[in-house]
Structure 1
């Protein structure tokens, strides 16, 4: 793939970054190409709540006239409307905060700008990053959900509007929309990326990550967000690198995977023949989905206390139901759940003594038809509770022709090893 044969708006971020750094591509041209794509497709996809086209163009001209700023120099990016931005409103997908203008960027946004990225706009989130959907449609079929809660970010990258976009995950809000839209989604290890300036739902679970079109792209973004340049080391993506040790992990929820996911799994087993071994999880982990649901409900109900007490009539019925469930969970039960979480996190480290990464389902199947739900995050809940880094890898199609893929899960803090393994695996799955 090269700039000669590939439209600018479809260049992988790492390829565009190399061209920009060598001054073989101008930031203004890349930004214009993305804005043209947005103008062409936004009415159908509805990925954005706010565009900052004039500011983005001015920033691109400034970057072209000055020195290379960093790893993301000149790359357009989008930001989920859960992150504060000093120059664009942030409403958290809720009428409660309509028109709210923060005074400062969220830390993750500021880090991307410092590295030279150009903010094009704010992308749609579900209501307060929960389950009630926004207006975004799946770019592959407008009658199917794009997933959530990072709906707009995943859809915009999928549709060629942006090479990179930020999102968050509390249950499955990065991996599930990546799966439904067919892009690479990256959830870093918990607490590897600062959450300052991002609307909080759950201190135990909330994680900042992002979307791109390749593993190398999310590695580039991850290097900036975590401050760990090793994540984007080109040596990690050497095609001659040694094969990683992959654990094949169907999880306790496998019976709920539909035919599309099961067929993708069978395809992956064939592609990875000789490099993967089946892995049994600790028996106690059969309870992790329940624990994650209770931790999320308890902490979200309390994080949204202001909204519940002052703006109850502006909250959706599904969110009110979650809050009601969370308030019914006692502090004693929550403390027990946190102890169980800590114990499971310790157990998780032993899984990686013999494996570099675990292959697991990302979703029940392809994106469901209808826009009144964002789908089930079932296969993401346990990994989010454990705080482990995850990368969704798209490579197959379901019975409706929509994307299907699997996720690779790494040891806590071993994001570099996970990303290198994900690149290696993704090459085989797509071949």
Structure 2
């Protein structure tokens, strides 16, 4: 008979997978659909501001809520809210104003971070405290497979837009998530994450120096990616390189899928099989390795040195190194988090992650519209440098 911890891990992972592929598809659908309607890069970025802002709020309060009612409840609520968000987009195209889509995206942001916080926190409870190597592997598999499927979602979003149109694509995803919600409700342990410990509302902010420093590093790390990846890159590929939206979707999908694959094998890359469990020194070294890559890409674009090859080649290398950074961070937060009320520390950390994404998303539209992709890449370099400085103080 399958070990119960493994069985629950598989249910959590499968639910997270289904959510993630629709989330990636919806992101690509919205970017391409509204850009094709004539929205500027800044207006497209604006559509996601509430998505990222409510990610911050959700992680902060969701961690506290999960500690009180259980991770099962918060995961199911996340799936339900994503269905509501998708349903909101089924209205007539004339009603899809910026404000209306922002509200729908706000619900999607709440849903995404409830789902992610619940999935990541549950792993801590399913792995023995002395099995740090296994914990690293399970976190890497969950995180890496999630991003691989998010990449598949990018491709799926572009494909469904061409095949079914915006409303048809959204309707299909909503139907699939209704099925996933039903199965998850039947199979997931009703007591997952429930503890006798009921944290007070005032305990939502972390009191751990290690968690606070890692959270600050995470904010700038993810800001460094999204400042050029979220809006600037897909719009640049369409407007400057004249790529079709299917080509953009396929390239973004391939990048995210490769990024997710590297995250999955990150334990091998960092030497966990030789007994090397990541610590603060690992996080610092990998952030230094990442630091100059965006600047090199910006230089190639500015001086027009085989710009197409520099951009795509640099993007692939950046993705691989960034993936290891992300995987190391994802392990460290689960390792640093205290077992009683694990969702509090994990929620606080992913609040910082969402803040970095919000900052990166906003700057991606503003900086690209005013100064171009090269400037976005320079901002990315500055953010990674700040991440490296913060990482020096992480526990070793």
Do they fold alike, i.e. is TM over 0.5? no
So what's the TM-score if we normalise by structure 2? 0.30
So what's the TM-score if we normalise by structure 1? 0.28
* More helix per residue: 2
* More strand per residue: 1
Question: Higher relative contact order at CA 8 Å, sep ≥6: structure 1 or structure 2?
Answer: 2
